[in-house]
Amino acid sequence: MRDFAIWALAMVATVGLVACTGRWTELPASGGTPQPNQAAASAAGQPSSQGGLMPQSAYRVEWSSPQIPSQLPRGAQQLISVSIRNTGDREWDARQISVSYHWFNATENRMVDQYDGIRSPIPSNIRPGQEVTIDNVKILGPNQGGSYLLQLTLVQESVTWFETQGADTLTVPITVQ
């Protein structure tokens, strides 16, 4: 009976998560960072004027000209600069798209921030083929010293992270002291 109660509670939590978010999270077979279920995310909807999930072909980005320090004090906020080019087939809405990041432990390749990087809005809508430089991307270093990987990415707020839709990220090694 106890095993059934645990199973039932897990099912209720899973159904509630899918009902609230329209997608669920899977743990990779090797353990590590949960990743959104691609099939569920793709089925979540088509582009809409309300900012729904766009086709995967819209989530394409090319990163260039990063100006990121190789060392960062523990818990320090830093402004960095990076250029992004929209290589997708849809315009990115500045009200919905931001530059953000994830921190990974470099020795274990394990995410340490759980998708909570500071959001830095793109300065204006970005058309397909257009490139912009963003000089005020904010990052906040981890509180513990060590070797980390900073992964820059884009996020369509309350919808999806670009990399879960197949987009490239920019990953830079940083020592936190």
Strands (E) across 43-111 are located at 61-67, 71-72, 77-86, 97-105, 110-111
Q: Are 107 and 171 members of one domain?
A: yes
Q: Are 36 and 61 members of one domain?
A: no
> Quick one: tokens of 112?
């340490």
pLDDT at 31 over 80: no
Q: Are 31 and 59 members of one domain?
A: no
Around 131, how many Cα atoms within 13 Å sit in the side-chain half-sphere?
9
Q: Are 62 and 35 members of one domain?
A: no
Q: Are 83 and 155 members of one domain?
A: yes
> Do the domain assignments include residue 138?
yes
Q: Are 62 and 95 members of one domain?
A: yes
- The set of residues, in sequence order, having a beta carbon less than 8 Å from that of 115 and lying 6+ positions away, is 102, 161
Q: Are 153 and 83 members of one domain?
A: yes
Q: Report the pLDDT value the prediction gives residue 126, as an integer from 0 to 100.
A: 98
Q: What is the CA radius of gyration of the chain?
A: 18
Q: Are 31 and 107 members of one domain?
A: no
Q: Report the pLDDT value the prediction gives residue 51, as an integer from 0 to 100.
A: 72
> Do the domain assignments include residue 49?
no
Domain, as residue range, for 33: 1-44
Q: How far apart are alpha carbons 158 and 4 in whole angstroms?
A: 34
Chain segment 36-57, per-residue pLDDT in tens: 433 333 333 333 345 799 999 9
Q: Are 74 and 140 members of one domain?
A: yes
Q: Report the pLDDT value the prediction gives residue 114, as an integer from 0 to 100.
A: 66
Q: Looking at residue 143, which CATH number applies to its domain? A: 2.60.40.10
Q: Are 103 and 35 members of one domain?
A: no
> Do the domain assignments include residue 167?
yes
Q: How far apart are alpha carbons 174 and 163 in whole angstroms?
A: 21
Q: How far apart are alpha carbons 133 and 129 in whole angstroms?
A: 13
Domain count, the chain: 2
> Do the domain assignments include residue 50?
no
> Do the domain assignments include residue 161?
yes
> Quick one: tokens of 159?
């919808």
Q: Report the pLDDT value the prediction gives residue 42, as an integer from 0 to 100.
A: 35
Q: Are 110 and 59 members of one domain?
A: yes
> Do the domain assignments include residue 86?
yes
> Do the domain assignments include residue 91?
yes
Q: Are 85 and 171 members of one domain?
A: yes
* Whole-prediction pTM: 0.72
> Do the domain assignments include residue 85?
yes
